[in-house]
Structure 1
Amino acid sequence: MTIPMIPSDAATATVTEAPAAVPAPRAGADDRASGPSWDDLVAKVREAGLYPTEEQAERVTRAVLAALGEHVVGDERVDLAQALPEEAGRIVAAQVPAHQPPAAAEFVNELSRRLPNATHATARWDTTSVLGVLPGLIGDDLTRRVLAQLPPGYALLFGQAELPRAA
């Protein structure tokens, strides 16, 4: 076997070829490094809900995401968990899915029973404070897919227009 010799001037020559293209990162867990963190999510919820403390915003965020995690299933559940900051994704994914998602008003009522000293009005505020920031984090396509799984009325909780569904 003969090894070709490289001329000495070639060893110091500059490469003029374009470098090989680096493939774009795959969508999924790798996106979390460049996306918002758990602290960013809680800060957005705190701002949206005008909560006086970070602890209150975090408690509400955890409760609403846990409740949502019970009602989103299939690919949308996986995609939602992957699109959210890691801690939020774990909260969603850790829930046991219910057989049938409740109507939006019952979802809020369920949340009022989970949060200490909550009324229907404060639970609705909490719900919209958390779900209202999600479309900005997860994107319009995934928001539409999640809403398609849920009964009418949830779009308003996400801060979206409620469009009539095709029959």
Structure 2
Amino acid sequence: MRWDAFLEQVQERGEYGTPQEAERAACTVLALLGAHLVGVVRAELAARLPETFAVILLNPLQATEPLSPERFLRATAAWIEGATEKTAAWDVSAVLSVAADAAGEELTQRILLQLPPGYDLLFGRPEHT
């Protein structure tokens, strides 16, 4: 997926006023997500993202343990200046739903298998519970 197309979709879904807001959310969420994915799944997702976001996903923020969806939202809020858990939920859903579209259903399903229960809603895929 092209950089501008990815950002446009994140901006639209997140209802951000500027591309910079969408980019900030995407960078933070993908850096946190990268800490929770391993091996081929992370590499395959990176291959379907714009190069800059792929690098972020492949060089993630460090996580000492898998985060539940609730803790993932709190971590996102902590990394985005001025964010709350409510706005972080919006950020995470906007970015992860676009990433899921870029990944396709089969890869998204494998991504969800690597994550704790409950991430399906963050990816906009509640049917995979």
**Which TM bucket (shorter chain)?**
over 0.9
1:46, 1:57 within 8 Å by CA — same for their partners in 2? yes
1:1-150 map, 5 Å: 36-95=1-60, 98-150=63-115
The verdict on how the C-alpha distance between 1:45 and 1:97 changes in structure 2, with shifts beyond 3 A counting, is: same
- Residue ranges of structure 2 left out of the alignment (5+ in a row): none
2:30, 2:56 within 8 Å by CA — same for their partners in 1? yes
Is 1:160 paired with 2:121?
A: no
Displacement of 1:37 in angstroms is 1.1
SS at match of 2:126: coil
- Residue ranges of structure 1 left out of the alignment (5+ in a row): 1-35
Whole-angstrom distance in 2 between the partners of 1:139 and 1:133: 10
Percent identical: 41
TM-score after normalising by structure 1? 0.73
SS at match of 2:117: coil
Displacement of 1:94 in angstroms is 1.1
Whole-angstrom distance in 1 between the partners of 2:75 and 2:29: 10
TM-score after normalising by structure 2? 0.94
The verdict on how the C-alpha distance between 1:65 and 1:103 changes in structure 2, with shifts beyond 3 A counting, is: same
Structure exhibiting the larger radius of gyration computed from Cα positions: 1
Structure showing the higher helix proportion among its residues: 2
Greater relative contact order (Cα < 8 A, sep 6+): 2
